[in-house]
Chain A
Amino acid sequence: MSRFKDALISGIVLLLGRSGRRPVARRERPRIVTAGAPERAAENAVLVLLALVAVCAAAFVVFYALDRLGHQTQWLGLALGLAFALLALACVAIAKRLVVTEELSEPYPQLQHLEDQAEIEQIVEESGSRFTRRGLVKLVGAGALGTLGVAALTPAVSLGPVFDTSQLARSPWRRGLRLVDEAGKPLAAKDVEKESFYTAYPEHADRELMGSPVVVVRIDEGIVAYSKICTHAGCAIALYRKPTFADTEPRPALVCPCHYSTFDPAQDGKVLFGPAGRPLPQLPLLVDGDGNLRAAGNFNRAPGPSWGGVRQTEAHT
């Protein structure tokens, strides 16, 4: 019982402070920081806030330990977020109300040390006074270090086929390859209807290649296929625009939704509008004995977004 009383009294003393018999602070030297009056209200607020931080942090551990808690992530986030928010509040209260602050003016640090600058220059000059052909030494030294730098960077070339940029024009298409839909089913010529839009891939080939996906449409002249990758920035040609205004747009056109590059399927993928700098690559087609569409060769130009010199590059398998 008396132990409990001791604990209670010491707890109260801890909370309220020993205002009655505060020992006189040892004052051997004058204060550096200006004096400030105590602020019990702010101090109490900080104590409460810090206690709440501990409660929230403990709640985080509890939420983590509970296995069958619905919305566990949200509870964890709430507990941790509150803990940090309350800690921030406590810090603000401490900084604004409790830590002794004072308004001072201070000159900016010295901008430069003229004497030291001169001495450094002198030391460097004098240390190198035994060289007789300084210009030549500097030139050769720069050449040596520069070449060494180039040598050190050379292994980076192994990262990729730097000088073999024909890679960029790669396409899986070749003569005789069947066009298949997303499910892998061959695309029959009779199924390709006007005013509709089909996406096809080369049979048994990697569909992630830039050159793989094609769009197939039926126009007045017959069925045509183009690379589905816009020649501007590599987005997918995902729209087949109907003529919305017959005077200027007499025929449907292939449109990339990213920046509205518009290509004419009847004129070898000519750019009608938008930022694309070159026509859409066309895939020559043939119809086999079963009535299915097959490639009659590779694209007539490099598929994918454009790069310097792309107009001189042909698609290659």
Chain B
Amino acid sequence: MIRGLVRFVDQRSGAAPFVKKALRYVFPDHWSFLLGEVALYCFILLVATGVYLTLFFDDSRSQVVYQGSYAPLRGDSMSRAYESVVHLSLDVKAGLLMRQTHHWAANVFIAAIVLHVLRVFFTGAFRKPRDLTYLIGLSMLFIALLEGYLGYSLADDLLSGMGLAIGNSVAISLPVIGQYVGALIWGGQFPGSAAFWPRMYIAHVLIIPLAIVALLTVHLVLVAARHHTQFRESPKTTER
């Protein structure tokens, strides 16, 4: 079976030399080298659960009166966005599971990136020739934070309202350009034009994930090209 598969792939892609090299890649045998992989798997999980969430989420801020199954909220006025979130959480089977998995994967994503950066920092793996890899990783951390902030804001509950208000006040307080940046992003004074929610949404589900995928690709290619940093050979197991 292996022989057939290898032949099939190699004859069509010529990938055999690369695959052979990858299988014999010398990988440092220490758990801290898997933190970056944890972040990678979190990202895959985030994309998978996120796609599921988009099938139920409505990015509109138009006001509706809640008539769903959750009695304490019935009759309250809320945005379509929040209504769709409540509906997904309480009325859709496995909806809350998907939403919570997305939420916790996002938390673990950031935590894993931070620990990964710490490992890179304290083992000196940020130095040339891996400096570019490090800087790309750092920019992914900040992009991931922005992505998390947008996800937190999209639900349109009370937390997201306050978070966005703070974000807006931070944006317009930037020296010299702040008021223009704020007016541009929000389309006017906070809470902004009706178009602001779709803007956040498309940034959260398309633009920023694409940016992360692009940076991630370059990051991994550079890691493979320059190889992992290695620990010094341990004297115990060296037979020389």
Interface, chain A (partner B; CB < 8 A) = 32, 64, 72-73, 76-77, 80, 101, 103-106, 108-109, 111, 156-157, 159-165, 167-170, 208-211, 232-235, 304-310
- Flag whether B78 is at the interface (Cβ < 8 A): no
Residues of B within 8 A of A304 (CB): 189-190
- With CB as the reference atom, state the residue of chain B lying closest to A229: B165
Tell whether, in the assembled complex, residue A308 and residue B169 are in contact, meaning their CB atoms are under 8 Å apart: no
Tell whether, in the assembled complex, residue B166 and residue A234 are in contact, meaning their CB atoms are under 8 Å apart: yes
- With CB as the reference atom, state the residue of chain A lying closest to B181: A162
Number of B residues, CB within 8 Å of A: 45
Tell whether, in the assembled complex, residue B182 and residue A233 are in contact, meaning their CB atoms are under 8 Å apart: no
- With CB as the reference atom, state the residue of chain B lying closest to A168: B189
User: Least Cβ distance of B64 to chain A in Å?
Assistant: 15
Q: A159-B184, A160-B185 are in contact. Are A234 and B190 (CB under 8 A)?
A: yes
- With CB as the reference atom, state the residue of chain A lying closest to B162: A235
B183's contact among A32, A105, A162, by CB below 8 Å, is which? Answer: A162
Alpha-carbon gap, A64 to B180, bound state (A): 50
Most B-side CB within 10 Å, residue of A64, A101, A111, A161: A161
Q: Ordered nearest first, which 3 A-B pairs have the shortest CB separation?
A: A305-B169, A307-B172, A160-B187
Tell whether, in the assembled complex, residue B184 and residue A109 are in contact, meaning their CB atoms are under 8 Å apart: no
Q: A64-B93, A105-B233, A109-B226 are in contact. Are A233 and B183 (CB under 8 A)?
A: no
Tell whether, in the assembled complex, residue A165 and residue B169 are in contact, meaning their CB atoms are under 8 Å apart: no
A233's contact among B24, B94, B166, B184, by CB below 8 Å, is which? Answer: B166
Tell whether, in the assembled complex, residue B178 and residue A308 are in contact, meaning their CB atoms are under 8 Å apart: yes
Alpha-carbon gap, A310 to B169, bound state (A): 12
Residue contacts A-B, CB under 8 angstroms, 15 given? A77-B100, A104-B26, A109-B227, A167-B188, A168-B182, A170-B188, A210-B189, A233-B166, A235-B165, A235-B166, A305-B173, A307-B178, A307-B179, A308-B175, A310-B179
Residues of A within 8 A of B168 (CB): 234, 305
Q: A168-B182, A234-B168, A305-B173 are in contact. Are A111 and B188 (CB under 8 A)?
A: no
Residues of B within 8 A of A208 (CB): 191
Residues of B within 8 A of A168 (CB): 172, 179, 182-183, 188-189
- Flag whether B186 is at the interface (Cβ < 8 A): yes
B179's contact among A76, A77, A111, A309, by CB below 8 Å, is which? Answer: A309
- With CB as the reference atom, state the residue of chain B lying closest to A75: B97
Instruction: Bits for B204-226, please: 1 = Cβ < 8 Å to A, else 0.
Output: 00000000000000000000011
Alpha-carbon gap, A172 to B166, bound state (A): 22
A210's contact among B97, B170, B190, B193, by CB below 8 Å, is which? Answer: B190
